Structure 1
Amino acid sequence: MGNTKLQMMIVTALFTAIIGILAQVAIPLPLVPITGQTLAIGLAATILGSRYGTYSTILYMIIGAIGVPVFSQMTSGLGILLGPTGGFIVGFIPTVYFMGKYLEMTRFNVTHAIIANVMGMFITLIFGTVWLKIVASLTWYEAFLSGFAPFVAVGLIKAVLAGWIGIVVRRRLKEAHILVPAA
């Protein structure tokens, strides 16, 4: 099995990269683009659980904040985190933690993974919409129309995909002894 701590550090770093890669899959909208970040966050939580999923998300934010262009559309820097879309990125931390905790307290199966990912989608959207309203000086209605409403349908699709694919990949990684039993 080898050094399990090292294995989990490597898998965590891999998921940080996956988040950065899927962030580049983007459909531009006026204020907030539709991206693959939320799919990647759902996969991280579903596959890695609360601890390592959260680590991968924090690492993603740190490397983006210091200038590595991992945020949507190859952007980076503190300006992105403090700007109108920063709340979505910051909201990934409680989102992935909550989803992982939910799965750890219930079961890592497709049904619970989809439930966790749907709840996580709403956590991210609420965080991002509140932040957008404040930073962009929008009304609640404008923030809802720009930061919440356009993302619900595609978010539900990504939640189902992340739940289903995440459980399949998690099982395979556990069978291959890449994920340690506590993950």
Structure 2
Amino acid sequence: MRNNQLKMLIVTALFAAIIGIMAQITIPLPLVPITGQTLAIGLAATILGKKYGTLSVVVYIMLGIAGLPVFSGMSSGLGVVFGPTGGYIIGFLPAAFLIGWIVERFGFTLTSAIIANIIGMIVTLTFGAIWLKFVAELTWMAAITGGVTPFILVGIIKAVIAATVGILVRKRLTSAKLLPASIAS
């Protein structure tokens, strides 16, 4: 039992680092860049489930707030979290929880993982657009046009990749006994 918890904490820390690394993969857009963060968060939640997937996101955000350059563009600090794109960062938390909850509840299958990751994408974009509207003082149309529309297709693609790779990696880690078969504890 204790050994499993230690393994899960190590894997959780590893995924926090992976999120930070993937955040540096960016395609600049006028308001909000396309990044690898959401792909990494989908992977973490699909592989680790709701508890440890969400914890990996908490660790990632705390590292960024503490000053480590883990946010997009090697940025960090509270200014990023409270800036125009901070809603996306905050949205990562409920997205990870929901993705993990759905795959735990409905099974670690490709279908449930794809659905979970698409829902996670919608949650992240919703938080991001609402935050962007108020912090950047945009109209609803401008917030949706700049903060949601450019991310729908790429978000679906990342959701499918996160689900496919996540389920495969989870199966391999479980069979190698690097992940416990049941992670709900």
Normalising by structure 1, report the TM-score: 0.98
User: What residue number does 1:4 align with?
Assistant: 4
Secondary structure class of the residue paired with 1:63: helix
Matched, 1:34 2:34: yes
* 1:41 partner letter: I
Secondary structure class of the residue paired with 2:178: coil
User: What residue number does 2:172 align with?
Assistant: 172
Matched, 1:155 2:145: no
* 2:40 partner letter: A
For residues 128-148 of structure 1, what are the alpha-carbon distances to aligned partners after superposition, in whole Å with 9 as ceiling and x for unaligned? 000000100000000001110
Shift in alpha-carbon separation, 1:2–1:177, aligned structure 2, 3 A: farther
Equivalence map 1:6-155=2 (5 Å): 6-155=6-155
The list of structure 1 runs, each at least 4 consecutive aligned residues, that deviate by more than 6 angstroms after superposition, is none
Aligned length: 183
In structure 1, distance between residues paired with 2:182 and 2:133: 39
In structure 2, distance between residues paired with 1:120 and 1:4: 27
* 1:73 partner letter: G
In structure 1, distance between residues paired with 2:6 and 2:163: 26
Secondary structure class of the residue paired with 1:3: helix
Secondary structure class of the residue paired with 2:130: helix
In structure 1, distance between residues paired with 2:149 and 2:31: 13
Structure 1 residues without counterparts, runs of 5 or longer: none
Shift of 1:2: 7.5
Secondary structure class of the residue paired with 2:92: helix
For residues 147-167 of structure 1, what are the alpha-carbon distances to aligned partners after superposition, in whole Å with 9 as ceiling and x for unaligned? 100000000000000000000
In structure 2, distance between residues paired with 1:2 and 1:173: 18
Shift of 1:31: 1.3
In structure 2, distance between residues paired with 1:2 and 1:172: 22
In structure 1, distance between residues paired with 2:45 and 2:163: 9
For residues 102-125 of structure 1, what are the alpha-carbon distances to aligned partners after superposition, in whole Å with 9 as ceiling and x for unaligned? 111101011110010011100000
For residues 62-102 of structure 1, what are the alpha-carbon distances to aligned partners after superposition, in whole Å with 9 as ceiling and x for unaligned? 00001000000100000000000000001000000011111
In structure 2, distance between residues paired with 1:98 and 1:160: 16
**How large is the Cα RMSD of the aligned pairs?**
1.0
Shift in alpha-carbon separation, 1:2–1:175, aligned structure 2, 3 A: farther
